[in-house]
Chain A
Amino acid sequence: MTPGMQTAGLSPLDRPNSYIGKAVPRPNLERLLEGRGQYVSDITLPRMVHAVFVRSPHAHARIVGIDVTEAKTMSGVIAVVTGAELAKVITPWVGVLSHLKGLKSAPQHAIAVDRACWQGEAVAAVLATSRALAEDAAEHVVVEYEPLPVVTNVRTALDPATPIIHAELGDNLAFERKIDAGAVDDAFKRSDKIVDVEFIFGRHTGVTLEPRSIVADWAPGDRRMTVYLGNQAPHMVQNIVAKHLDLEEAQVRVLCKDVGGSFGVKVHIYADEMATCALSKLLRRPVKFVADRVESFNTDIHARDHICRGRIGVSHDGTINVFEIDDLTGVGPYSMYPRTSAVEANQVIILIGGPYTTPNYRGRTRVVFQNKNVMSQYRGVGHPIACSITEGLVDLAAQAIGMDPVEIRRRNMVRDDAYPCDSPTGLKFEALSHHASLDKLVAMMRYDDLRAEQVKLRKQGIYRGIGIASFIEVTNPGAAFYGVGGARISSQDGVAVRLDAAGTVICQTSVTEQGQGSESMTAQIVASAIGVSMEKVRVILGDTDNTPYGGGTWASRGTGIAGEAALQAAKVLRGNILATAAAILQGKPDDFDIVDGMIVDAHGQQRIELNELTRIAYFRPDTLPPGFQPELMATRHYVPRQYPFAFTNGVQASWLEVDVITGKVKLLKHWVVEDCGTIINPQLVDEQIRGGVVQGLGAALFEHCIYDETGQLTNANMADYLVPMATEMPDIEVGHQISPTLESELGAKGAGEAGAAGAAACVSNAVNDALSPFGVTITEIPLTPRLILTALGRI
């Protein structure tokens, strides 16, 4: 704490006029509610053309020939471009990172050149004066395919008899990792009960309200590519576009204006987006591509799709002695670029058993190639799977020894006073609050009352269940996530703040906004640290030409990293303002404070407004003491370096009813207690938690990308792919524990993925709890009526 920052013993963040911890409305709310958002599809540029991609109907096929003759003659058509033609202006990429040892993948082209490897991969682009005309012409691009054998089943993907998708790789294994900690075999031997089950997680996707969209504008005159993109990481995109289109980074400007939901779907750059940039360069004019809903289902990254055998050994006294997993996942034909498709599996294997003291753990995960759409990072990345396996096993262990699910957790969770400590897999925990969080949850949900109600209702043939799931969450990642593996994805963020001539604060930040409230969070911190009202702070983000360099918004890092950079930049600006005030008012900087945009003295007497200070600084510097130069702009960057990640923790509970006649699950109530350290805006945090919970509930009950054995996605529409809807969602009550990270002054950790991490796990546990009188255990999601009726032997 800087001495000049003190006011009556309070830090600037908890002074009476602080916005920290307040549920203030988002600054961008009114604009968005007025329909004045500017999304990529709102952008229209002179001479702009629309790209439509002809996509492979086969999961795996050789492209024998493409006849574009008729399509080229059709109304409004500007060009029809094949993969081979486009390859002249854009190089292919390989989605591997060196720290994911052994990860391999094959070169992927923006548009397939010789071979399509999943149903939906682009094989040609049609450019026309409207999307509709381009779609008309696309129907007349004649592609001759020679279907190739498909690999769809992950269980047999590594069998010698299974064809190899990329012959040059030698097999279909993309990545494998093993962990062996403690004395696993001994621990099983001395366990009184061992539970051994297979968990199945359906493949699903992110379903952003706004589909992926891009306008690429290559301006030959100034040799610059301007890319308007719905994306979470503009500087990452800048690097990749430059790299593959033979440009310098300075020749590429990436703008991410309003974005209608991202959830990790938009943290990647997709082949069709890269193709759109290349098409703009090829045609020397702006090109727009907006994925339609069918394309979104076929090409937006999918996630989960794991089959995992899990074992747990437990003693009669409730001690969990050991966890063991063998995980298998299929990620499509390529590892996604640039963040790869190995991260989810890697997270699964390191996060198993995370909340518990159990020192014995053995794990293996294997990532295989298959002819389906690519999988990669989506909200929660591995956490929902690790949590479902861990907490599923813990509940089954409790059942095996006849112990209450809350009690077994209390006996095994890392004590709240045991920090800092490491997990058996080497994770470093600074300060977590498993026990306090569970105690709070149990009180919020009135656990004992619910148990009594459950017993009473069972006698009436009503089967309700309680499910609990504790979790740890990776947030605020440092360079360990991507940078050390060679990816040019920044883990640090930068914020610049300055006073304009009227005393308004202009803040440029490298964090981005897709609806989670980054703009509000930044404005709250900056306003509080300087001492102005939020209306006096204008936040600029999502523009590589106009923001400091930084990572963006993903991996629950925005507040913890960019928020700290904003605080530090604002503190420097505040110091500079006070120095200027002291020069004007002939005092010492420590004699003054800034309160609601006014310079006040030690007695609280108002002296001058900020706009008077800027008037003097900018227009009458001649009146300032000689040698004094006001510096009314400051920039700071931040990245955590003490801990690779700031782990958070939380616990969730579900109360639901299973209709044993129809197999339907009715969610009655959901509770979350989580600990993200310092909370900047409780409303935004709670909504992040609720949004994540709803996505987790979607995975638990509804969402499923259903492929047939030939690799066809059979439900690529909103009627057949079921997203969770308001009517089916329960009330979600959110509580907090607060264990700030001491690594930053702000103390904030991430909250964006905590909801998704544990929601499905507690629904699964609650369903099994409800069905326990029938002796039925289901370890597969989504928990459809069909699955439940089958398990009950009714159909």
Chain B
Amino acid sequence: MKAPAFNYARASSVQEAIDLLSHYGDRAKVLSGGQSLMPALNLRLLAPEWLIDIGPIVDLRRISVESGLLTIGASTRHADLHRSPDIAAHAPLLKDAVAHVAHPAIRNRGTIGGSLAHADPASELPACMVALDATIVVLGPDGERRIPAVDFFVGIYETQLLPGELLVAIEVPKRAAGVRHFFSEHVRRSGDYAMAGLAAEAEIDGDAFVRLRLGFFAVGERPILATAARHLIGRPVTEAVLAQACAALDDELAPQDDHQATAGMRRYLARQLLVECIVSLLGRSDLRTKVVA
């Protein structure tokens, strides 16, 4: 279980990284926190000719707040997100979510940019970006592209990133007053990849949703912004409405079987997550599915 030989380049600036990436194209892989890349190399699932280490680029490890926008550098560690007061104040969903990302040792090294670029459909952060309506900022030889998170994720380990491009930052709209969030996932063990998960953000007026973004993960090939939310917006939520939303959700999921859960079980867990989410956001425990022995 040793990685095949590779060449190693340390990029000291974003420009240098992009130059190296443009030069080597798909012969190169970006090394950020290395928490997915190194195991893949050691298992010889990947054999890139070059690794371009963006670790030394200090500019990429930052969190800043300006005029309604939270900007997170791609090399920001999960642990940074968890302890950042700015994240806690302006994107508390992220603070909750990163606590579920693997284990402390992995959170100390793993980066947000790495997680998003890797695009594992069972990961927490891509779904959060979808729920938060974030923008992924990438730089390439032809300059900057700003891609809405809902469009960024294409499939299993697939994004809109082109060879030669580097994911440099994530922009998250600052949370407005009164916005609520929900995060939950079903895992076999704490820190495992989810069997199903949901990251959600909502605005509520009285007893009805004004806005509801449901970012499901581990229930399809990429994080899913569930359109089932439309059934729940702008009207009082009743058991019937919730059932209608659950049915709609079922239609738009395309989960797969794996060792931990069948597709059917994933659909079931996603429906349970939706119910829990609505119960939690609205404070309506009366909506919880009754279980009678």
Contact = CB atoms under 8 A, between A and B. Distances in A.
A667 to B, nearest CB: 12
B47 to A, nearest CB: 10
A786 B4 contact: no
A436 interface: no
Contacts of B264: 795
A779 B214 CA distance: 38
Interface stretch (B170-178, B183-191, B227-235): B183-191
B192 A660 contact: no
* Chain A interface mostly: loop
B268 interface: yes
Contacts of B69: none
Interface string A95-136: 000000000000000000000000000000000001110011
Contact of B193 (A294, A660, A719, A795): A719
B270 to A, nearest CB: 12
Nearest to A771: B293
B190 A728 contact: yes
Size category of the binding interface on chain A: 35 or more
Size category of the binding interface on chain B: 20 to 34
Interface in A242-298: 292-294
A310 B142 CA distance: 71
Interface string A687-727: 00000000000000010001000000011010110101101
Given A706-B259, A727-B191, A795-B262, A132 B272 contact: no
B261 interface: yes
Contacts of A789: 265, 268
Interface string B149-171: 00000000000000000000000
A308 to B, nearest CB: 24
Interface in B191-207: 191-193, 195
Contacts of B193: 719
A498 B271 CA distance: 71
B240 interface: no
B4 A662 contact: no
A139 B5 CA distance: 13
B147 interface: no
Contacts of A773: 293
Contacts of A664: 186
Interface in B223-243: none
B289 interface: yes
B156 to A, nearest CB: 15
B1 A294 contact: yes
Contact of A660 (B189, B259, B268, B291): B291
B265 A720 contact: no
B2 interface: yes
Nearest to A130: B2
Contacts, number: 71
A795 B260 contact: no
A774 interface: yes
B191 A784 contact: no
A722 B192 contact: yes
A727 B187 CA distance: 12
Nearest to B289: A661
A684 to B, nearest CB: 28
Nearest to A291: B1
Contacts of A715: 259
Contact of B189 (A132, A461, A727): A727
A722 B188 contact: yes
Contact of A463 (B192, B269, B293): B293
A720 B192 CA distance: 9
* Chain B interface mostly: loop
B262 A714 contact: no
B38 interface: no
Contact of A786 (B3, B262, B289): B262
Contacts of A132: 2-5
A495 to B, nearest CB: 40
A604 B52 CA distance: 75
Contacts of A714: 259
Contacts of A660: 291, 293
B291 A795 contact: no
A725 B188 CA distance: 11
Given A132-B5, A715-B259, A795 B265 contact: yes
Nearest to A662: B186
A131 B293 contact: no
A664 B269 CA distance: 12
A139 B260 CA distance: 31
Interface string B1-24: 111110000000000000000000
B268 A795 contact: yes
A178 interface: no
A458 interface: yes
Interface string A633-661: 00000000000000000000000000011
A785 interface: yes
Contacts of B259: 706, 714-715, 720
Given A293-B1, A660-B291, A785 B272 contact: no
A392 B1 CA distance: 42
A448 to B, nearest CB: 22
A794 interface: yes
A135 to B, nearest CB: 5
A288 to B, nearest CB: 13
A276 B62 CA distance: 51
Nearest to B2: A132
A568 B44 CA distance: 55
B210 interface: no
B58 interface: no
Contacts of B2: 130-132, 135
Contact of B268 (A130, A294, A794): A794
B291 A661 contact: yes
B282 to A, nearest CB: 18
Nearest to A52: B2
B4 A136 contact: yes
B5 A785 contact: no
Contacts of A785: 186, 188, 195, 260-261, 265
B3 A725 contact: no
B179 interface: no
A695 to B, nearest CB: 15
Interface in A440-469: 458, 461, 463
Contacts of A719: 192-193
B43 interface: yes
Given A132-B3, A135-B2, A136-B4, A786 B191 contact: no
B293 A725 contact: no
B6 to A, nearest CB: 11
Contacts of A294: 1, 43
B272 A662 contact: yes
Interface string B26-50: 0000000000000000011000000
A467 B33 CA distance: 44
Interface string A765-788: 000000001100000000011100
A375 B1 CA distance: 24
Nearest to B3: A132
Nearest to A135: B2
Nearest to B269: A662
11 contacts: A135-B44, A292-B1, A294-B1, A660-B291, A720-B259, A722-B188, A725-B190, A784-B188, A789-B268, A794-B268, A795-B265
Interface of B: 1-5, 43-44, 186, 188-193, 195, 259-262, 264-265, 268-269, 272, 289, 291, 293
Interface of A: 130-132, 135-136, 139, 292-294, 458, 461, 463, 660-662, 664, 702, 706, 714-715, 717, 719-720, 722, 724-725, 727-728, 773-774, 784-786, 789, 794-795
Given A785-B186, A785-B265, A795-B262, 19 more contacts: A130-B2, A135-B1, A135-B4, A136-B4, A292-B1, A293-B1, A294-B1, A463-B293, A661-B272, A662-B272, A702-B189, A722-B189, A725-B189, A725-B191, A728-B189, A728-B190, A785-B261, A786-B262, A795-B268
Which 5 A-B pairs give the minimum distances between C-beta atoms? A773-B293, A292-B1, A132-B2, A727-B190, A795-B265
